[in-house]
Chains A and B, each alone.
Chain A
Amino acid sequence: MPLEGDLVRLREIRESDLDLFAELRNDLEMQAWSRTLPPDYTIEMIRRRYWDRDFAYRRTDAIFIIETKDKEEVAGMISYSDLVDRMEATWGVAVHKRFWGTGVGHDAADTLLHFLFHELGLRVVRLWTQSGNERAVAAFEKLGFKVAVRAPNAIFKGGQYVDNLGMDLLREEWYALHPDLEDSLEDPFR
């Protein structure tokens, strides 16, 4: 069963999704990477990037396709990495601009957070973004994230300096936003 949100499901990558990955990477607005990437990614480059992953029971990263539940349209990708067992992970998301402002990105992110906190039992989840992307910062704050670190003028993008922002969300903060869920994981360190 894929991860199910209200609007989207998060599922594994399929061959037919590679076009979307290239499209996301090759659009300066959508590539969701603080340091601008050259928009020349080929499908073959994407295939090698994601098809070389090996099966393992212990994983420190994952990547999902965001698929809408109503029309089964591919809306973007969402991933986590640098997972430290039962402690933390860092995540990122790229949503196709056709779906900006539709709630798809928020639902995909909260679905991933549900997986990270409620299934994997993490204590904190982090992300990196940049201050020039005000829409993204506002979206992350709506999910409960707080700016933890602001590196001033750390990034040059779009012809200007912007701050690099590290944001984090603690386990109890996420559960407080989801009163319908009970957190039964004990925390001996608080």
Chain B
Amino acid sequence: MPDLKLRPIESEDDVAAIATFLADPSLVGRRGLRDDRPVPRSMASLVRAIEGMAEKELGETWVVDSGGVVGMVSADWWWDAMSPWVHVVIDPQHQRHGHGTMAIRLVLDHLFLNTPAHIVQGGVPGWDDEGLAFAESLGAVEMGRMRRVGVREGAYFDEVDFVITRDMWEEEHASRR
């Protein structure tokens, strides 16, 4: 596993680094930004969106740092601290090195060790085969599909929602010790 930590978004350089990789066309539709539209966006609009996420009241957004910015991860418990949603996005230049798995594990450890989280949820667009495979590799369980959440390449697509319960996390956490 890579040497990796989650830390706050601390500087304009952090924001610029995140915005730069989020501008990658391969991340359109899965950037994890609030109310994000699935289209290419300008750097200025990405910067505004990231700054907005960094200041949210009922959630956290962190830099995924592995000797430099390699991704962004967010947790949101606006609805209920017992059932937060998480999202991780890794710079395409740094994918397939285990950063996403490590980042999610750190977030889950934080949520289950330091907050009242009872379950943790996440959503993946139905067309995102890599995202679906990633969720399954984490042991997340599909809890359903919201139908017709958007249109892409001439067809509706669903959002596949996943859950990791505290029991599941405890079992996985114990196996790591």
Contact = CB atoms under 8 A, between A and B. Distances in A.
Interface stretch (B3-11, B40-48, B151-159): B151-159
Interface in B137-177: 143-151, 154-156, 161, 163, 165
Contact of B156 (A126, A156, A161, A190): A190
B168 to A, nearest CB: 11
B144 A189 contact: no
Given A151-B121, A151-B163, A152-B165, A126 B80 contact: no
Contacts, number: 64
A173 to B, nearest CB: 10
Given A150-B144, A152-B143, A189 B156 contact: yes
A133 to B, nearest CB: 16
A124 B148 contact: yes
A188 B165 contact: no
27 contacts: A87-B150, A123-B156, A124-B148, A148-B144, A148-B146, A148-B147, A149-B146, A149-B161, A150-B143, A150-B144, A151-B83, A151-B119, A151-B121, A151-B163, A152-B119, A152-B143, A152-B163, A152-B165, A153-B119, A154-B118, A154-B119, A154-B121, A155-B82, A161-B118, A166-B146, A189-B154, A189-B155
B145 A35 contact: no
Q: Which 10 residue pairs across A and B have the least CB separation, nearest first?
A: A149-B144, A154-B83, A124-B148, A149-B161, A189-B156, A148-B144, A148-B146, A168-B147, A189-B151, A189-B155
A164 interface: yes
A140 B155 CA distance: 27
Contact of B143 (A35, A124, A149, A161): A149
Interface of A: 35, 87-88, 123-124, 126, 147-156, 161, 164, 166, 168, 170, 188-190
Contacts of A151: 83, 119, 121, 143, 161, 163
A81 to B, nearest CB: 13
Looking at A148, A152, A166, A168, the one whose CB has the most chain B CB atoms below 10 A away is: A148
A149 B154 CA distance: 24
B80 A35 contact: yes
Nearest to A147: B144
Interface in B73-123: 79-80, 82-83, 118-119, 121
A154 B80 contact: yes
Contacts of B83: 151, 154-155, 164
Contacts of B151: 87, 189
A188 B151 CA distance: 10
B110 to A, nearest CB: 19
